[in-house]
Structure 1
Amino acid sequence: MRTRPLKVALLGCGVVGSEVARIMTTHADDLAARIGAPVELAGVAVRRPSKVREGIDPALVTTDATALVKRGDIDVVVEVIGGIEPARALITTAFEHGASVVSANKALLAQDGAALHAAAVEHGRDLYYEAAVAGAIPLIRPLRESLAGDKVNRVLGIVNGTTNFILDKMDSTGAGYQEALDEATALGYAEADPTADVEGFDAAAKAAILAGIAFHTRVRLDDVYREGMTEVTSADFASARQMGCTIKLLAICERAADNGSVTARVHPAMIPLDHPLASVRGAYNAVFVEAEAAGQLMFYGPGAGGAPTASAVLGDLVAVCRNKLAGSTGPGDSAYTRLPVSPMGDVVTRYHISLDVADKPGVLAQVATVFAEHGVSIDTVRQSGKDGEASLVVVTHRAADAALTGTVDALRKLDTVRGVASIMRVEGE
């Protein structure tokens, strides 16, 4: 074993960074044996240096992250500060000064992954980011390496633990959205400002990363269609149960069979109870991958939290350090296909539409006519009502999303339709 340690700079020492530092210390001998050389925490960049950080030598703590990554003796930079800047500048500076990078920064990778990969290649460095998508779940490495000889056609997953916890509570207890969110906040699953989670921004960034890797093409955050789940109601769950379904916030990345284009989207959807993703409970994540040769694969586990995310970071750290010792780099960006990214309107899906309508003869015929005029076939209709008020629930066959959207817009203009109570896509069938 090489005796000179590989030196690691840690950018950020919050929930994840502190766990990375702890594991590096407590598992130092095991890590050295697995890598073939000791690893040493050489510096920790933070915003508040006065904060007590148990197990970390105060002499290692600095507020000058730029100076830390410019040190010529740093072998690997671990970036867990998040956000776009200064993370982007720090990562590129690390490459320029001889260090490889391990990152958990989904937002940055979804927005500027291509440029960061190009910078890594230019300087002969590694860029690894297993922790950016699904916490402790090994997902990026299987897609990038284990399935490198296969053709992935679809990635369907629950990639945000906060939203899954909220929807699971609504389903299992009948709680409303706000009540379930309050519980998630009290338990530490939801941030004080949960917007990134509940409006789908977090999942959209992960979908962009997954689609790019799975389909070997450029997919940026702006390419991902996004809907949040704040409008999901107890009534939606009741309708889902009548269909033998539940509701999940899904990240869906698909390759079209006809023209090879790809789509990436995040939105709430009804899925059958017998689908593997339907049984994913609490704050857990799961990703369902469909490949031509391998068939259907399921990856499941804790998708967030300090220790699970740190586990993924340390796995990347071991791989990058091994590459460093071997004088090589691992697999980088693979975007050779240059497939077109189609808009949401081209996606073929199903709709579950709940309408408040006037309870009088001819309403169903008017509604059916609107569907026919837009080329959308109806699968099932369920109607109930009294005292002049009625509810009409329509489930469609598969059609282009643009046609379905146009249908809903036309339904809103009918005098007999008093309101569109709910619109939800149906997936996983």
Structure 2
Amino acid sequence: MKEETIAIDGGRQLAGEIEVSGAKNAALPCLFASLLSSKKVVLDNLPLVTDTMTSIEVLKSLGLAVRRQGKKATIDAAKAKSASCEVPLEQARAMRASILALGPLLAKRGEAVVPLPGGCDFGSRPIDIHLRGLRKMGAEIEMKGGVLHARADGLRGQRLTLEFPSFTGTENLMMAACLAQGETIIDNAAREPEIANLAALLVAMGAQIEGAGTSRIAIAGVASLGGASHAVMPDRIEAGTYLAAAAAAQGDLTLRGCGGDELAMVLDKLEDAGAEIESSQDRIGIIMDRRPRAVDIATAPYPGFPTDLQAQFLAVSSIAEGTARIVEGIWEQRFRTADELRLMGADIAVSGSSATVNGVAQLTGAHVQATDLRASAALVIAGLCASGTTVIHNAHHLQRGYEGLAAKLNALGARVRQAGA
């Protein structure tokens, strides 16, 4: 298989308008939620990225009938060909969201065989929060050779207090609780807007959920869930990535289809960096007519600064005026991007969970290696404002979460070329 690369000729200002795609981090749990239904679930505004396609393949392997037309998918459990409970190893290792099959399979079919998830390589991904909650609800789970084997003779509602507001942990337990006997309370739940988007789908299917999007979610279990139609929310991480690109490349950019409320912390940091921001319910505009100022960032669970935008802002800080300190409060090993940015001339010192970035006036194009999805985006941003040509190897990571990235950037005046896709 030929390696995928992206080549970027830097130094070109970004200007124009682009549409924000559906959110990958909202689409994937919505797809797995269809496992809870006995009828037809229609999902619209799905992003055309490889993680979406991989999730659809998992659903098919579990027996569901799936028909996709562009950004819309119809998942029909009534036409299921089988009731397999085993997630294929290849798909599980391709993305960490595969763990989201665990809760729905246990709740609906009473059994789940799920290999430990893969995806981006930025440190360990303990799933203790998922397992502890499901075991408390009555599941028996054991690990055999890197594969989770779980069984439950009917889940029971419980009060669950999460030791950390895990995003996927909250989603998994919320989905499982929809078909559990009695009420489940999830305290210290994650508050990301994607969780509220998932809850909206589940409620449309007949679930009884209150508090999604807050730190306390109450779910009253029901006997069954039906069909529904649902639109996936816009991708705030994609929006933040393009805003960061405009800040680094001194652009004039408007994003359509995405509002600023869910990016409040990010927009504040961009304004601190010198950008002029205008936002409404469905548009965000940014004008950056100067070299950005350095700003300190500390990632935290929502509504804090998103960890999925840390690498992109590391790239912005690399060419900013002054010194920035960036603290990663969610994932270990998420500063691996720094090694590649240094090849382009960045001055970054990493110590444990923090990085000190002394901005330089100019980065230089180089051959660099992408290590994960968001690191790939950071290297794209660096390439856009570097002199010469930057070639990003292992660029397949970008296809996991960014729909039509090269085409969108080229529409804004960039010069981006893909090869090997």
Shorter-chain TM-score above 0.5: no
Task: Say which structure is richer in helix.
Answer: 1
Larger radius of gyration: 1
TM-score, reference length from structure 1: 0.28
Tell me which of the two structures has the higher relative contact order, counting C-alpha pairs closer than 8 angstroms and 6 or more residues apart: 2
TM-score, reference length from structure 2: 0.28
